Structure 1
C-alpha cells in the first residue's frame, strides 16, 4: 500500500501490513504535522479534554500511538504531569522527543502485549491509531490491564471501519464482563479537509471498573 505525497491513499493504509504502516509513517515525519493540521485535525484536543474532565492528570498517562507528539502536546496543555509515549515508528518517536513533553518514549507495537506493569497508568489516550489495529479487542484488554480502576481509556475509531472491526460486539463483551463502562460519541470530524475521511470517527471512552 502506498500513499501519495499529497496524502491521497491514506485511508487504505489500514489494510497494509504493520511493516508497511511503519514505512509510511517513518517516511511522512517531515510534513506530518503540517499535513494533518491543514486537514483540520482536532482529535488531540478533544481526547485530552476527556482526560482533564476525568481528573486523570496527576500521574502517568500513556499516549499510545503517539506519532510525532500532537496528542502529547495536548495532554501537556491540560496539565498532565507525566506523559509516556509509545509508537511503532522510530522516526516518529524521534520527532516526538523534540517536543520535550514526554517523560518516557518507547518503540512499541500496540498489537503485541505491552511491556508495562498492571495498573501503572491513570489513563490511556489513543488517537487515530485503531484504524491500523486488526484485533481491537486484544488491544483494549491490554489497555484495561495497565490502567487503574476508575481511569479512562480514550480512543477513536473510524466510522467506516466500525462494523468490519466488530466494535459494537467488542465493547459489549468488555462491558458485560464488568471490565468497564462504555461511552461512544456520535460521528465526529477526523480529517475533515481530507476527502477520504468524510465519515469521521467515533470518540470512545472506557472507564475501568
Structure 2
C-alpha cells in the first residue's frame, strides 16, 4: 500500500481509525507480509496473551461445546496464544487476504476464513462457544452492529471478548452502547480499566491505552 501519511507501514497508526475498509485491508495485506509480528513485538503488544488468558478462564467454567471464533484474527497472534493454552477448535477470520494466508500458515486454527466484520456474518445463531476480537474495533464503521452480530453468533452464556482504544472508547460512546445492550437484556458486561496497548510505540506510548470488554450473552 502506498500512503503518504504512513511513511512506512506501521507509522501513523493512531490516525488510521477513520480509514475506509478497503484501505485498512490494503494496509494489512502489505503489513502482514512484512514486519507485522516484529513491529508489534517491538512496541510491547501483549493483548493477544491477555485476551487468551481471559478466554481460558471463562471457558474453564463452561460445559458447552463448539468452536471459538477469532474475529479479525490478523496474522494469528491470538490463535497462537489460545493454542498454547490448549483452547481447541479455533476458527480465525479476517478481511485481509494476506492476513488470512499468514494466519492459516501458522497451523493453530481449525480453519481460517475471509470475514468482514463490517457486514452481516454468515454464521448461524449460537455457533460459537466464545469469540475474541482483539485490536479490531478501531477500524469498524459501525461498532454497535458488529457487537450485535457477535452476540448473535455466540452461544447463550458464551463470552465475546474485545478491545477498544481508550480515545475511541470515549469518542464512540462505548459506555452508552454497552449500557443499552445490558438494558435490553442481551448480555452482561464487564469492562477493564485502561491497560497498556502499544507502550513502546512512538505515537501511542502511555497516551493511548485499551480497555478489554467481556460480554456474556444472556
Aligned residue among 32, 38, 43 for 1:34: 38
Say which SS state the counterpart of residue 183 (structure 1) adopts: strand
Residue ranges of structure 2 left out of the alignment (5+ in a row): none
Q: Which of these residues, 184, 200, 205, is aligned with residue 209 of structure 2?
A: 200
Residue in structure 2 matched with residue 4 of structure 1 by the alignment: 7
Q: Where in structure 1 are there 5+ consecutive unaligned residues?
A: none
Aligned pairs for 1:121-132 within 5 A? 121-132=128-139
Partner-residue secondary structure (3-state), 1:113: coil
Instruction: Say whether the 8 Å CA contact 1:61–1:83 is kept in structure 2.
Output: yes
Residues in 2 aligned to 1:4 and 1:110: alpha-carbon distance in whole angstroms: 27
Equivalent residue for 1:48, pick from 52, 57, 75: 52
1:160-199 maps to which residues of 2 (within 5 A)? 160-197=167-204, 198-199=207-208
SS of equivalent to 1:206: strand
Secondary structure at the counterpart of residue 92 of structure 1: helix
1:106 paired with 2:110, answer no
Aligned positions, number: 209
- Quote the offset at 1:134 in angstroms: 2.1
Could you tell me which of 89, 92, 96 is aligned with 2:103?
A: 96
Query: Contact 1:3–1:24 (CA<8 Å) still a contact in 2?
Result: no
- The answer to whether the 8 A contact 1:66-1:87 is kept is yes
Separation in 2 of the partners of 1:23 and 1:59?
Answer: 32
8 Å CA contact 1:134, 1:165 repeated in 2: no
Q: Does 1:25 align with 2:28?
A: yes
Cα separation, 2, equivalents of 1:123 and 1:182: 14
Deviations 1:134-173 (A, max 9, x none): 2111001001100001111000000010122110111011
8 A contact 1:58–1:80 mirrored in 2: no
Moved more, 52-61 or 103-112: 52-61
Assess if the C-alpha contact under 8 Å between 1:135 and 1:165 holds in 2: no
